[in-house]
Amino acid sequence: MQPVFGFALFAVFVALIVVLARNKKRFPANPISSFFFGFIIVLLAIGAANYFMVAISANRLYFWQQTIYGVSLGSVYALIALGYTMVYGIVRLINFAHGEIYMIGAYAGFFGVTSLGFPFYFALIFAMLTAALAGVIVERIAYKPLRKAPRLAVLITAIGMSLLLQNVGQKIFGSIPRSFPRQFTGLYRIGEINLDQSRVIVFAVTFLLMVALQYFVTFTKPGKAMRAVSQDRDAAQMVGVNVDRTISLTFFVGSLLAGAAGILVAIVFPQIRPTMGLMPGLKAFVAAVIGGIGIIPGAVLGGLIIGVSENLVTAYISSSWRDAIAFGLLILILLVKPSGILGRNTREKV
The smaller minimum CB distance to another protein, of residues 95 and 230, is found at 230
Burial class (CB in 10 A: 0-12, 13-18, 19+), 42: exposed
The smaller minimum CB distance to another protein, of residues 233 and 322, is found at 233
Kindly give, in sequence order, each residue whose CB lies less than 8 Å from that of residue 119, ignoring residues fewer than 6 positions away. Answer: none
Helix count (H) and strand count (E) of the chain? 13, 4
DSSP state of 145: G
Least distance from another protein to the Cβ atom of residue 299, Å: 16
Least distance from another protein to the Cβ atom of residue 213, Å: 17
Write b or e for each residue in 212-250: b if 16 or more Cβ atoms lie within 10 A of its Cβ, otherwise e.
ebeeebeeeebbebbebbbeebeebeeeebebeebbbbb
User: DSSP readout, 79-104?
Assistant: HHHHHHHHHHHHH----TTHHHHHHH
User: CA 266, CA 196: separation in Å to the nearest integer?
Assistant: 14
The smaller minimum CB distance to another protein, of residues 309 and 339, is found at 339
| H or E element that contains 194 | strand 193-196
Strand partners, 176: none
Least distance from another protein to the Cβ atom of residue 78, Å: 21
| H or E element that contains 189 | strand 187-190
Angle at which helices 2-22 and 322-336 cross, to 10° = 20
Least distance from another protein to the Cβ atom of residue 225, Å: 7
The smaller minimum CB distance to another protein, of residues 332 and 341, is found at 341
Write b or e for each residue in 135-163: b if 16 or more Cβ atoms lie within 10 A of its Cβ, otherwise e.
bbebbeebbeebeeeeeeebbebbeebbe
The smaller minimum CB distance to another protein, of residues 227 and 337, is found at 227
The smaller minimum CB distance to another protein, of residues 185 and 345, is found at 345
The smaller minimum CB distance to another protein, of residues 227 and 322, is found at 227
Least distance from another protein to the Cβ atom of residue 222, Å: 10
Least distance from another protein to the Cβ atom of residue 214, Å: 15
The smaller minimum CB distance to another protein, of residues 59 and 244, is found at 244
Least distance from another protein to the Cβ atom of residue 221, Å: 7
Least distance from another protein to the Cβ atom of residue 91, Å: 17
Kindly give, in sequence order, each residue whose CB lies less than 8 Å from that of residue 105, ignoring residues fewer than 6 positions away. Answer: 127, 128, 130, 131, 255, 258, 259, 260, 261, 262, 263
Least distance from another protein to the Cβ atom of residue 147, Å: 11
Kindly give, in sequence order, each residue whose CB lies less than 8 Å from that of residue 326, ignoring residues fewer than 6 positions away. Answer: 282, 283, 286, 287, 306, 309, 310
Q: Which residues of the shown chain bind another protein in the complex (CB under 8 A)?
A: 148, 221, 224-225, 227-228, 231-232, 234-243
The smaller minimum CB distance to another protein, of residues 41 and 243, is found at 243
